[in-house]
Chain A
Amino acid sequence: MSELTTDRPGQVASATPPAPGRPRRRLGDRGLAVAFISPALLLLLGMSVFPLLWALYLSFTDYSATRGGPARFVGFGNYTAILTSAQVHQRALTTLIYVVGAVTLQTVLGFAIAYLISRRTHGRGVLTTLFLVPMMLSPVVVGLFWRFMLDAQFGVVNSMLGSLGLGQVEWLTRQRTALVSLIVVDTWQWTPFIMLIALAGLTAVPKYLYEAASIDRASEWFRFRTITLPLVWPLLLIAVLFRAIEAFRLFDLVYILTSGGPGVSTETLSFHVYKVAFLGFNTGTASAYGILMVLVVIVLTQLYLRYLNKLKEG
């Protein structure tokens, strides 16, 4: 009797109580939370955490996936080999140039487009939709298509340069231009991302601030610097960090567009890990390499989440 009153406090007062049904044990809130959350967490543990722990174990061994045989423990050997390798240093530099170059270009262009769109009164929706198309395409489609457009002989880019009277450029087959091409293609695809977020920030700036500023006869630049930028900056920073993490992880575009070539001029760290793991078959070394990359990602992610937290609370 007492159980009934505590468990179903409203039944007496309720006009239309639900059918009693079979008596069964009720899940408490706690049990319900565990039952609802644990399946998702178990999948993540199985498919993300466990593989990483396995990689961590392999990174201390000389295991090779093709040679098979037992794994011998080599301590930090793989780690010191990678951290002191000139090859890896070069890939790190390539990755840095690529990440900084692409993300900077995207941020400047994306913010500029967002600013221009936010000042329009008509056709904002259509413009935004059109600009967003590149971002929704698969990196495979983007990579393949730019490879075709940048082809030295029949590519449309060189064809246009030719009709403008400019010289032909071997976009993907020269060391210097290949990395530039990679940055250009990534910028083409992801400028809309920054634009979208910046636009969200720009449209959220309260109108009355601008009105107050124009009463004070503040200059355009002054308004931009003191109102627009400070209010949009936190959100923009989130977008920039997000893009930086994504650019650091990037693999598919490199694979399709240049396969790391010519030479090793567009080999990023991600691509090098792939070569060590799948072409060199040094699973142990590749695992250590991967773990080091994961550490970098974790640091970047922590930074990202901290800013995200600040934005949510602020």
Chain B
Amino acid sequence: MAVSVDEAVSAGPAPDHPSPARRVRRRGRGRSVLEVVLLTALAVVMLFPVLWMIETSIKENRDVYAVPAEFFGFTVTLDHFRDVFVGADGGRSALSVAFLNSVVVAGVSTVLATVLGVPAAWAYSRFTLKAKKDQLFFVLSTRFMPPVVVVVPIFLMYRQAGLIDTKLGLILIYAAFNVPFTIWMMKGFVDEVPAEYEDAAMLDGYSRLQAFWKFTLPLLVPGIAATAVFALIFSWNEFVFAIFLTSSDEVRTAPPAIAGLIGGTTVDWGLVAAASVVFALPVLVFAYLVRRHLVAGVTLGAVRR
């Protein structure tokens, strides 16, 4: 399709035999305009649902259900955002408790995954180990297990250990699914720090451990920060384990709590939208902070460019 439009643009206004160079330039411009239009259209389609969510979150209820839909000229209200944090009785809402739980669970599991994953990544990068490649591939493949399948035996395991409906249970399983990511992502960062730094430090009399701690680790801090941010996003967004392993309001994280809003007979879509906005905002901010590492991050550290 692009070709035929191109042809039309360049062949149309050319009665006086323009030079080949000019024709190429003109065709280039017509094509470029078409490309910009296409890109804009695609961007609008991709972003519309996000904009619609934000709009819905600041609309009054009667505007939310208006038919035909109102795009502009509705009354702006922040009531839904208040409802996210303040309960009907004036106290803290169940949603705000869930948000707090999410912060705790995502935060602690990320710290755990980082503390376990970074040293392992360093060791995988520096030492020659038996079947290192196989070990690394095994580590990554655990991350690909279908959560619905893993959750059945985990559920039975947790029931035995009394970890059902506890934050600790969620923290452990989230740490376990973030460790493979941390190892793969951090191995890339460690590979970029020359091993010679450590060799030089060891010539100065430091032990290998000291060399890692005093020389390599400080250089890894930006990488660790980026890796931790991704782990944080993965745990924050996780839903499957959260819904099967927790049930009470005191333990439940935000994703199942938000999903729970549509359980009843009537759904307050304004509240759902406001809760979704509050939930998604930190993720978008964090993702923006690590935008340089996105390719590695979303492929679980497997692809680096």
Contact = CB atoms under 8 A, between A and B. Distances in A.
12 contacts: A37-B120, A37-B135, A41-B120, A43-B116, A52-B145, A132-B291, A147-B262, A148-B269, A156-B52, A160-B69, A221-B3, A273-B148
Q: Is the interface of B mostly helix, strand, loop or mixed?
A: helix
A149 B153 contact: no
B205 A294 contact: no
A159 B210 contact: no
B146 A127 contact: no
Contact of B148 (A116, A162, A270): A270
B94 interface: no
Contact of A297 (B49, B117, B146, B255): B146
A290 B153 CA distance: 10
Contact of B39 (A41, A113, A149, A239): A113
Nearest to B302: A308
A193 B302 CA distance: 14
A48 B183 CA distance: 16
Interface in A146-175: 146-149, 153-154, 156, 159-160, 162-163
Contacts of B159: 65
B234 to A, nearest CB: 10
B11 interface: no
Contacts of B150: 48, 51-52
A11 to B, nearest CB: 4
B142 interface: yes
Contact of A138 (B64, B176, B255): B255
B223 interface: no
Interface residues of A, number: 109
Given A47-B173, A131-B42, A137-B237, 15 more contacts: A18-B210, A37-B123, A47-B172, A47-B176, A134-B49, A140-B259, A162-B68, A235-B303, A238-B299, A238-B302, A242-B302, A251-B240, A255-B243, A290-B152, A297-B144
Interface in A251-285: 251-252, 255-256, 270-271, 273-274, 277-278, 283
Contact of A251 (B147, B183, B205): B147
A141 interface: yes
Contacts of A17: 204-205
A156 B69 contact: yes
In this complex, which of B137, B175, B239 has the most chain A Cβ atoms within 10 angstroms of its Cβ?
Answer: B239
A196 interface: yes
Given A14-B204, A51-B157, A147-B262, A27 B209 contact: yes
Contacts, number: 276
A76 to B, nearest CB: 18
Contacts of A109: 42
Interface residues of B, number: 99
Contacts of A197: 295, 299, 303
A133 B46 contact: yes
Contacts of B152: 55, 273, 277, 283, 286-287, 290
A188 B46 contact: yes
Contacts of A138: 236-237, 239, 255, 279-280, 283
A127 B149 contact: no
Contacts of A1: none
List the 3 closest A-B pairs by CB distance, nearest first.
Answer: A290-B149, A47-B176, A51-B153
Nearest to B137: A305
Nearest to A156: B69
In this complex, which of A41, A134, A221 has the most chain B Cβ atoms within 10 angstroms of its Cβ?
Answer: A41
B39 A117 contact: yes
Contact of B127 (A29, A39, A252, A300): A29
Given A130-B47, A138-B283, A36 B68 contact: no
Contacts of B154: 47, 51
Interface in B105-157: 116-117, 119-120, 122-124, 126-127, 129, 133, 135, 137, 139-142, 144-150, 152-157
